[in-house]
Structure 1
Amino acid sequence: MSKLNAIIIEDEVPAARLLHSMIARLRPQWNLTIVPGSVDEAVAWFKENPQPDIIFLDIQLADGNAFDFLSATHPSSVIIFTTAYDQYAIRAFTVNSIDYILKPVDEKRLLDAIIKYETLQSDGLPRSEEYLEALLDTLQHKERRHRTRFLIHGADRFWSLQVADIAYFYSENKITFAVTKKGQEHIIDLSLNKLMEQLDPERFFRANRQIIISIDAIDHAEPYFNGKIVVSVRPPYKSQITISEEKLSSFKLWLNY
């Protein structure tokens, strides 16, 4: 069996190492590399290295998602997704990706995906341009319901917070906060990664590792150094919101959708 280059892009280091050890046992002849699990770092790696034959790609990355990475790099590589999405939410991915693996990763399921890749490779893989175009379209239009409200617990009562009333979410000291359009803050018992799995991507954008912004909250954006931009929101966020050069095209597409 011919030697090939495979990379793992996963935002959780233990999960990346576990997947690496599984693949190494199943295909010891492969060249395996763990790439940092953020959009910015993965894009930077692609600029400095040859494209691999296959990518094991987590859908939700540390500072964005698989769409941000794919739209920035347009890899010719074949994709196998690793994801925590349930089967209903990820059904569309099976149409245009080689395969997907639900977390926690089962070694038999992993082997099935590898064999599927090898079989398709011997039969002739789809043209990379057509494959990537279809894959990006699927990622943007995946079939799923999006969260519309959160249950907020107070000292002596609880109430429903509507997602439509939220300007942005931010993370600080591993605590997630929702800030309403009126400037009220509420603790949300979900990480930013989990939130991006549940929010409507047409309404919310992962600007960076610390913050998710609503389309309604954006006041304006202006150029920054090194190809970055700074975004101002309403109500004002306590820190500067920067969007990297690698995510800029995705941000502009999102604004103009």
Structure 2
Amino acid sequence: MIQSQQHIKYLIVEDERLAYEELKRMISKLRPEYIFSERTETVEQTISFLRNNKVDLIMLDIRLADGDCFEIFNHVSVSTPVIFTTAYDEHAVQAFKLNSIDYLLKPIEENDLRDALIKYEQFYQSKQTSFDYRQLGEVITQKVKSRFLIQKGDSYFYIEAKDIAFFYSEDKAVFLHSFDNKRYIIDYTLDELEKLLGKSIFFRASRNCITNIKAIRDISKYFNSRLKLSFQPECPHEILVSRIRVADFLKWVDGIV
């Protein structure tokens, strides 16, 4: 615990009354020495408050009555540690972990809140640098493609992104290769796909291949500081990670996006 814990002032940004009351109740129970400063309900109210007041911790809901909370960071510089409350999916979770103190999935559990407060206190005590919340907003609001429409003859069906093993280019065409070992031509370039796919799951391993992390069966060192990948299901082409991509690729495999 931090020595000056009794002086910590916190702001709750939450537009749902019951959610606000429950969060405040749990904080009061877990940290009765914390000082409640204010509750704001909108982007506009929060910007106004932060321009004129200082707090030590912000409990910030993502969706507010008048828009996305990340709009706040475009109008006021925020160096205060933030714990986000959210219902976002797996794509966003990694971004929250890298760019904030913590995130709490609604409905908030008391044990999760306790862990987040402990993490905040450890951060506060170590005087680490602040996070880039504007960058986090760009990551979270980025559109991620979750499925692909496939045409087969006169019929249409879709394939979930999680069921795709890899994409590769061949003879000026781009193929989607599914985990059930079927392939389909799709009307996207690999450059377009690289921007649309969730970065925690997919990686541009080479000029002609984007792979799902779950499709990689083996990674081995190869000539000239490259890496050779083996897939399950098998890819019809040899896939080599170039020397300049190796560091980013290994970070991605290690879960650092």
TM-score under structure 1 length normalisation: 0.51
Structure 1 partner of 2:20: 16
Among the aligned pairs, what percent are the same residue? 36
Structure 2 partner of 1:145: 144
The whole-number CA distance in structure 2 between the counterparts of 1:88 and 1:46 is 29
2:69 pairs with one of 57, 66, 71: 66
Give 3-state SS (helix, strand or coil) of 2:75's partner: helix
Structure 2 partner of 1:116: 119
Q: CA RMSD in A?
A: 2.1
Give 3-state SS (helix, strand or coil) of 2:71's partner: helix
Instruction: Provide Cα deviations, 1:99-137, integer angstroms capped at 9, x if missing partner.
Output: 1000000000000000001111222221x4xx2xx3211
Q: Is the 8 A contact 1:93 1:135 kept in 2?
A: no
Instruction: Provide Cα deviations, 1:121-175, integer angstroms capped at 9, x if missing partner.
Output: 222221x4xx2xx321121123652689xxxxxxxxxxxxxxxxxxxxxxxxxxx
Within a 5 Å distance, the mapping from 1:97-116 to structure 2 comes to: 97-116=100-119
The whole-number CA distance in structure 1 between the counterparts of 2:104 and 2:143 is 18
Q: Residue 51 in 1 paired to residue 49 in 2?
A: no
Structure 2 partner of 1:84: 87
Following superposition, the deviation at residue 62 of structure 1 comes to: 0.8
Give 3-state SS (helix, strand or coil) of 2:37's partner: strand
Q: Is the 8 A contact 1:20 1:34 kept in 2?
A: no
Q: Residue 136 in 1 paired to residue 134 in 2?
A: yes
Summarize the Cα distance change of 1:28–1:68 in structure 2 as closer, same or farther, 3 Å threshold. Answer: same
Amino acid at match of 2:62: I
1:41 pairs with one of 42, 45, 63: 45
Structure 2 residues not aligned, in runs of 5+: 148-195, 197-257
Q: Which structure has the higher relative contact order (CA within 8 Å, separation 6+)?
A: 1
Within a 5 Å distance, the mapping from 1:164-203 to structure 2 comes to: none
Amino acid at match of 1:56: M
Following superposition, the deviation at residue 51 of structure 1 comes to: 1.4
The whole-number CA distance in structure 1 between the counterparts of 2:18 and 2:28 is 15
Amino acid at match of 1:39: V
Amino acid at match of 1:9: V
The whole-number CA distance in structure 2 between the counterparts of 1:147 and 1:86 is 11
The whole-number CA distance in structure 2 between the counterparts of 1:69 and 1:77 is 13
Following superposition, the deviation at residue 45 of structure 1 comes to: 2.0
